[in-house]
Structure 1
Amino acid sequence: MTTATMPKKKRQILPKEQRRQQLIEATIRCIARDGLGSITMHMVTQEAGLSLGIANLHFKTKDNLLKETLRSVAEEYHGGQIAIMEGHRTAGLADRLASLLAFQLGRGVTQRQKMAVWFAYYGEAGARPVYQKIVSASDRMAALTLESLFTDIIEEGQYKDANPAEIAMGYSALIDGLHLALLVTPREISKRQAKAIARNFLHRAFPRHI
């Protein structure tokens, strides 16, 4: 068969959601590498190996793409936490607490690429109300679920004078700080050390549960 008679290779047609996910994942890689302020649609489509027309078809504008990327990252992180905290109804409270810690400082969450993107959006949230709205909504839902979990643990363990709201706020701040330390100063703290620090915090609060 000559070149002239060879059939042309057809472009693979993928479902809409799969194409959208391709573009979101490419956006995550670009933000982690080049920073949020440098992102262009052309940059993302090159990274994804797709045409600009495909990106415009699915997201219309760069702002829409960036909003959906933030929403995807937030849902992955907070959705994972919430599923552990309230979704595993058959698991005991101690098991949920251990699973939550393993998730928050596990390999999936502490990938440098994911953490870089998360903190890039947090840095812009103050100046971009739309980012702040997305971040605040997901943060609030996770915070309420964490407080509810800690309330149940306090009741079960009969931890006197323990304030679930204060413990939840302190623990969330600690986890955020550990994530930032792992991103910015990875030579000074390992994931194992970060997990030990968080576990010690929980053990002091709930010694009979972890």
Structure 2
Amino acid sequence: MAETRSRPRKERTENANRRRRQLLDAAKRSILTHGLARTTLATVADEAGLSQGVAVFYFKSKNGLLTETLRDLYSQYEALWMRALEKAGEDPREQLGAIVAADFDPRACGPKVLPLWFAFWGELRFSAQYAEVAQEFDQRRRDALTRVWSALMQGAAPGAAEELADWMETLTDGYWQHLHVAPGAIDRARAERATRVFLGRMVPTLVGHIDRA
């Protein structure tokens, strides 16, 4: 009897998760098609093939839906670079190389992802909810990079690891911007290679590890 009672609850949870997934994916497609400002609960529901009432039921408002869409975008990116970091082993040089590879993976900065990043980033200063989501994920990312650089630069001056983490993020952000604004001028492979070369020149002990494409 316990199994009989629990099965409907499990099915409801699975259905809810499936509907949320449909709507989040549809929200991303709507942003790519209509832009962030013109994306509404109606455009998302239409894209998902669901009623607007379903969208309202799960996310309450356009702002709620878009905030969770940004969180989902960050979550997928975080899962990508964290898996790469875990697979790299304990050598911080290999870890940095793995993070660079993840940063230029099409799932992180492909043509269907970069417009989403820049659409939301353009609104961060106008939306406390967006800014809060970004700060949460950015801080975890910065902490992870700082730990890797600290392991690599043992004995360095205080604050050096944090500074190197900031430089690395700035470099990646710059290449993402180039890929978004002028995709014909540079591609992901070239941007990744340039990032590896720069880091290898900045920290010679990385040569032979970070500069492997």
Q: TM-score range by the shorter chain?
A: 0.7 to 0.9
Bigger Cα Rg: 1
Check conservation: 2:30, 2:47, Cα contact below 8 A: yes
For residues 13-162 of structure 1, the aligned pairs below 5 Å read: 15-85=15-85, 87-88=86-87, 90-155=89-154
Q: What is residue 203 of structure 2 aligned with on the other side?
A: 206
Distance in 2 of aligned mates of 1:62 and 1:49: 17
> Which blocks of at least 5 consecutive residues in structure 2 are unaligned?
1-11
Q: 1:81: how far off?
A: 2.4
Q: 1:176: how far off?
A: 0.6
Q: Helix, strand or coil for the counterpart of 1:39?
A: coil
Q: What is residue 189 of structure 2 aligned with on the other side?
A: 192
For residues 154-193 of structure 1, the aligned pairs below 5 Å read: 154-155=153-154, 163-193=160-190
Q: 1:35: how far off?
A: 1.1
Check conservation: 2:23, 2:48, Cα contact below 8 A: yes
Distance 1:30 1:154, change over 3 A: same
Check conservation: 2:149, 2:161, Cα contact below 8 A: yes
User: How many pairs align?
Assistant: 195
Distance in 2 of aligned mates of 1:161 and 1:91: 22
Give me the identity figure in percent: 28
Q: 1:167: how far off?
A: 1.3
Distance 1:63 1:205, change over 3 A: same
Distance in 2 of aligned mates of 1:159 and 1:151: 8
Check conservation: 1:71, 1:134, Cα contact below 8 A: yes
**Superposition CA RMSD, Å:** 2.1
Q: Helix, strand or coil for the counterpart of 2:126?
A: coil
Q: 1:80: how far off?
A: 2.6
Q: TM-score, normalised by structure 2?
A: 0.84
Q: Which has the higher helix share?
A: 2
Q: Helix, strand or coil for the counterpart of 1:112?
A: coil
Distance in 2 of aligned mates of 1:163 and 1:111: 31
Check conservation: 1:105, 1:195, Cα contact below 8 A: yes
Distance in 2 of aligned mates of 1:131 and 1:161: 32
Q: 1:190: how far off?
A: 1.4
Deviates more, 1:52-61 or 1:127-136: 52-61
Check conservation: 1:121, 1:131, Cα contact below 8 A: yes
Highest RCO, 1 vs 2 (Cα 8 Å, sep ≥ 6): 1
Q: 1:88: how far off?
A: 4.3
Query: Which structure 1 residue ranges, 4+ long, deviate > 3 Å from structure 2?
Result: 82-85, 87-91, 158-162
Q: 1:162: how far off?
A: 9.0
Q: What is residue 7 of structure 1 aligned with on the other side?
A: none
